[in-house]
Amino acid sequence: MRPRSIRGRMVLIAALAILASLLIAGWALAGALEGFVTRGLDQRLDSQITLLASAVDERGAVDRARIARVRGMLEGEPGWRWRISGPDGTLGSADFPPLATLHPPGPPPAGEAGPAAPPPGPLPPDAAPDRPSPAEGRTEQGVRVHARQVRLPSPRGPVTISAAAPRAVVARPIRAALLPLLAMLAGLGILLAVASLVQLRLALRPLRRLRDDVAAIRAGERARVGEDQPAELQSLATELNALAADSERALATARTSAANLAHALKTPVATLALDLAGDAARAAQVARIDETIRHHLARARVQASATRATTTLAPALDDLATAIGRLHADRGLTLSVQVPGDLAVALDAQDLDEVAGNLVDNAARHARSTVTVTAAAEGRQIRLTVIDDGPGIPETDRLRATQAGARLDERGDGHGFGLAIARELAELHGGRLILDEAPGGGLSATVLLPRAAETD
């Protein structure tokens, strides 16, 4: 399966390239080593052929006495064999195998029966001897041999001199050299792999830095990405900054429109509320209109925020708990705020009041006796949780409960916008709202909010 990440793909390509290179290098080195060992063996066999040729006179006769004197030198190692075939017959090792010439020095004379057989007729007396040529064969026991043979001309017919050694003479030093060779290639492969990983890490560092800059823009910690980028990323950084500038202009326009709408609606709604103060049904409808306006203005305000302020959680939540506790003082509710003093969110105080205030107020209206507010840092976010011991919300209704205007309990005086406002504000700040069952019953409402950047 092809990796999905650029790093994974580059690591895979580098691994395949290194493996292929090492295999080719190993094959080439093994071939070069075999050629080197074979040339050394050929030189030793040619030396034996020269020694045997010194026992053949110009008429093709073999000096057997001389052969007897040097026989120990010819058969000094196990498996080494020799043979002289000429007009007077064959002399040499008893188990000398038939040979097949690998690269004959020239075309065989007409009428030659086989690659290793002497020609039937005599060669001209002044004919030059052949150069030694390589040959191979196999003994009756199945042992492969590597041989060299040469053909000497004589008036009575050619004399063929052959010397052979077990093929293992070539294989043994190659096998002995393969272990350090493989160890060297393995070490080279590890070195190349480490170098590739370091290269990838250094090459991808600008991408990670660019990602962090974009995340900082999203968190409101900076307005632009750094343009000191490699040439390949320079155009991307420029386009990202142009996009950020366009977004800033659009947000400024939205901020102005939201302020104008708030100013235009504030006085008419307040006047209408005063006029209908004596009509409870219509006053409730005006209040619902006011909640709807606040809901959409809050959304527009967050969308218009070009940068995010920082608000410390503990004092803001303490104030909220105190205010909401007074509203429900007749019910004897206990509101507990358990928030570390050093936690801060990247929201202004008004946005935090909208989010946390709606959650705490919703919990207080449905709780039997206790509401608990906790917060904890999770990476770049703050997990703010409000737990009540009320009836809770069935799992099948939790999604509908966060929709604007949805009311699951018609007995209260709410308008169904509290959870919806909290959810949309959280999502507009890059977080989300999670509704779950609290331990022991009740509702656990958790909202994820952006964590403020730490300052030195």
Q: Give the angle 210-454-309 at the CA atoms, nearest 5°.
A: 90
| Whole-number pLDDT of residue 108 | 46
Query: In the chain, what are the domain boundaries?
Result: 6-172, 219-307, 308-456
Q: What is the pLDDT of residue 303?
A: 55
Mean pLDDT score of the chain = 78
Q: Can you give the pLDDT at residue 112? A: 41
**Alpha-carbon span 390 to 443, nearest angstrom:** 7
Residues of the chain with pLDDT under 50: 106-127, 306, 405-408, 410-411, 413-416, 456
pLDDT of residue 111: 44
Residue matched to tokens 């008036």: 155
Within a 13 Å sphere around the CA of 114, how many CA atoms are in the beta-carbon half?
8
pTM reported for the whole predicted model: 0.42
pLDDT value, residue 230: 82
CA distance 406 to 403: 6
- What pLDDT is stored for residue 181 in this prediction? 78
Give the pLDDT of residue 447.
92
Give the separation between CA 424 and CA 359, rounded to whole angstroms: 13
The answer to whether domain 308-456 has CATH 1.20.1250.20 is no
294, HSE (Cβ side, Cα atoms, 13 Å): 22
Predicted local confidence at residue 410, as pLDDT: 47
